[in-house]
Chains A and B, each alone.
Chain A
Amino acid sequence: DAGVIQSPRHEVTEMGQEVTLRCKPISGHNSLFWYRQTMMRGLELLIYFNNNVPIDDSGMPEDRFSAKMPNASFSTLKIQPSEPRDSAVYFCASRARDRNTGELFFGEGSRLTVL
């Protein structure tokens, strides 16, 4: 299996632009998580899905952030409009059905820089 695949790996954009980050979870995994990592705050959970349904989006910082999972093999995290404080590494992770035994697998991350 190729693991969790994220794109793009790096994104540099200007303030006010729309940013779309993409994630393909591991086949067969039914839970998908979006995290944001910064030096100051560490890893923060933004939103997670079970069976393509958003379960908890309380970590989404503002209405500028939105996430979708149209099917079991694809998810997007969108920021519109982007701001410099959104600069961070965004990780997608997936897990199999049984949370008691299911390890969390992370993608390589998307490093976002907003100028």
Chain B
Amino acid sequence: KQEVTQIPAALSVPEGENLVLNCSFTDSAIYNLQWFRQDPGKGLTSLLLIQSSQREQTSGRLNASLDKSSGRSTLYIAASQPGDSATYLCAVDGANSKLTFGKGITLSVRP
């Protein structure tokens, strides 16, 4: 059974800092991995999708990497802004088409 872990559960940083959010998974037989953002009271918004054959994806200030062999992914946020404050979840799409989610990291960027 796939398990996805995101540690720490919460993170607070000053504005402008570059930061890395971590995601680990137990079963390396995956199709892809997605990073999502969730604002309070809202649904999840997809940020980046990395296919199993890829090593990284970039969108603006966001860069996500994938290392299947070690069961890890990172989401790098450059020059963080208060508007980046939200919960960030990673999800792994396994062989059975089920996306397994981590519990998320709640990020607070202080002005």
Contacts and interface: CB of A to CB of B under 8 A. Distances in A.
Task: Please report whether the interface of chain A is mostly helix, strand, loop or mixed according to DSSP.
Answer: strand
Interface residues of B, number: 24
Contacts, number: 51
Which of A43, A50, A100, A107 has its CB near the most chain B CB atoms (within 10 A)?
A: A43
Interface in A16-65: 31, 33, 42-43, 45, 48, 50, 55-56
Contact of A99 (B44, B97, B102): B97
A55 B97 contact: yes
B99 A103 contact: no
B110 interface: no
A91 B89 CA distance: 15
Nearest to B100: A45
21 contacts: A4-B43, A42-B101, A42-B102, A45-B98, A55-B97, A56-B98, A91-B43, A91-B44, A99-B32, A99-B97, A100-B32, A103-B46, A103-B49, A104-B36, A104-B44, A104-B46, A104-B91, A105-B46, A107-B43, A108-B42, A109-B42
